[in-house]
Amino acid sequence: MDLDRAWDLHPQVSVRPEPFGALLYHFGTRRLTFLKDSRLLACVQHLAQARTARAACLAAGVDEAELPRYGRALAALAESSMLVGRTP
């Protein structure tokens, strides 16, 4: 995943925060994804306002050393169509 690119939740994805993190449901693919990390949820929530995925992660409190791990998690969400690249 290119952390220096802007990303958004897919328009057909709904996020439901839960005590363990969140549930993401894609109405188009009917896929359900569990986020078991509250900071990953914060990263996803910050995507809409951030210029890049890196900025969203940093705003969520992820430090530079943790960026590769969160980048991989965001990449998995993008591969499952939960996230889409933002077009300029």
Q: Structurally, how many domains does the chain consist of?
A: 1
Concatenated DSSP letters for the chain?
A: --TTS-EEE-TTEEEEEETTEEEEEETTTTEEEEE--HHHHHHHHHTTT-SSHHHHHHHTT--GGGHHHHHHHHHHHHHTTSEEEPP-
pLDDT tens for 59-83 read 999 999 999 999 999 999 999 999 9
C-alpha 57/C-alpha 7 separation (Å) is 12
pLDDT tens for 1-18 read 899 999 999 999 999 999
Region 45-68: mean pLDDT is: 96
The answer to whether residue 30 is domain-embedded is yes
The answer to whether residue 56 is domain-embedded is yes
The answer to whether residue 71 is domain-embedded is no
Domain range for 30 is 1-65
The answer to whether residue 87 is domain-embedded is no
